[in-house]
Every structure is written in structure tokens, then in C-alpha cells.
Structure 1
């Protein structure tokens, strides 16, 4: 764990709101010079606190109106390696996230599809044919509110 001061936390909050902000914009917002803001951002990146910058796409505007969370229980853990399943499921473009979890299911997948019939096609032809897939439970996303989470 890295020690973060108040300014580091404010920088992280600002970047969580909009990761495309320049160091000079963040510096102006927080009363820092551009070089000081840049050095702090760089320190946060080098220490691994900031792992990556990603685009947040609007799947609905791109034609993917349905998001489904799948709980996947592997039928034969001994016969199929977790790495084989993860590699195979990660190759499916509609699968947005693959999370190895503890609980009733072994994996939680976030899957996007154009509509319910498109999701059914992805489920039947791609996901259910993967090595080792046993039980699957689907939960359709109705709405979503994203929160940045705690910082420090």
C-alpha cells in the first residue's frame, strides 16, 4: 500500500471524473503548477495506483442494448484448467469482463448483446460450448449507476 496525501487523493478523484484531463488542468483546479501535478500523476502511475486509462463506451448507442451478468459454474474443474476456460471465454467479443469469484459460481461474466435473441445466440453457440461449462445463471441488467468508490 502506498501512502497518499490529500493532494494525491484529490488528483485521483479528478482523474476518476475525467481521465483525459491534462496535468495543467488538474494543477489549475488544485492550485498546483503543471510540473508538480505531472510529477504527482506520474508517481501514482509508476507506483501502480493508476493502472490504466480506459474508454467508457455507451454500449446502447453502439447497438448493444442488453447487458447480462452470467454466473458460470464449471462442471469438471479437474479436467478443464481454469486457464483454458479463461482463455476461451476471453476470446468471445461480447464478453466484456471475466471475473474468477468465490461462491456459488466459479466465474462472473458481463456480456453485451444487441437484444435478447442475440444474447440467446451468444449463450447457446459460444458460451455453453466452452470447455467445462456446467451450470449458468443469467441476470439481465435493468439500470446502472457507477460510483468511483473510496480513495484512501
Structure 2
């Protein structure tokens, strides 16, 4: 799908404030509301805009601890990845699962209410996941930049 400068401008403003009223978004992007609607529909149909989603501030829900866990799996079992990921999906505190090529095989993002809750999750839900050869925990201290803005 070909996108032009107008599409890029619309996407830039849409990404910055997806909840903005269509008229305000159209005004910021320099197009009419009708043009904005047609272009957004075309971008959705073309797969450029895949989804619209809610972004939840976990801290406001009482989750004060966020940890990124890097796993190297024991790959002597050909089903190690599939079994590990299936089990990780069952842990409710896991907010993200990513796979990699390289020394790290999988990264899990995990949230917890406090350090006691984190220890419980780590001991009883994380360390019991199958095929773990090595795990490294990185506790989030602060978020400097958090956004999905693209250079468009």
C-alpha cells in the first residue's frame, strides 16, 4: 500500500492523540473531516493501522513493581519454545512476551503489587516455567520515554 505525505501527517497526529475528536484531528492534519475519515478507513483496510487499543497505567491499579525477565531456554527439547510460551501465557501478571534471536531467547514483562508479591510470582510462577536454562531479571526503575511515535 502506498502512503503519501498527507497519510503520514494524519498518522503522526493520530498517534499523538488517538482519542481526539475527528474534527480536531482533521484540523491538525490540515485536511477535512471527510478526507480524514476516508484516509483512516483506507489505512485500516490496507493494514497500516492494525488496531486501536487502551493503554493502561498499571501503577494506578496498584502494581508498583515492573520487571523484565530475559530467558535462555534449554533447547535440547524441540518443543521448548512452544511449551515455555504456552506456560508463560497462563501467568496473569505477564504483560508481554517477546522472542529473540541471539543469546536471549525470550523476554517476559511482569508486574507485581509490591516486592512481596513479586517474590511470590517469581518463586511460584516464573521459576516453575518449563525449559529454563538461564534467567536474568531487570527491575524497572524509571521510564524515560514511553511511546509508539514513529518517524513518519
Same fold (TM over 0.5): yes
By how many angstroms is 1:25 displaced?
A: 2.5
Aligned to 1:150: 150
CA RMSD in angstroms, aligned pairs only: 1.7
After the TM superposition, list the runs of 4 or more consecutive aligned residues in structure 1 that deviate by more than 4 angstroms. none
Aligned to 1:89: 88
Q: What does the per-residue CA deviation read over 1:58-104, in whole Å, with 9 as the maximum and x for residues that have no partner?
A: 11111001110000111245253422221221121111110001222
Query: Contact conserved, 2:15 with 2:149, CA < 8 A, in 1?
Result: no
Query: Contact conserved, 1:68 with 1:112, CA < 8 A, in 2?
Result: yes
Aligned to 1:37: 36
SS class of match (2:35):
helix
Corresponding residue pairs, total: 151
5+ long unaligned stretches in structure 2: none
Query: Contact conserved, 2:65 with 2:140, CA < 8 A, in 1?
Result: yes
5+ long unaligned stretches in structure 1: none
Q: What TM-score do the two structures reach when normalised by structure 1?
A: 0.89
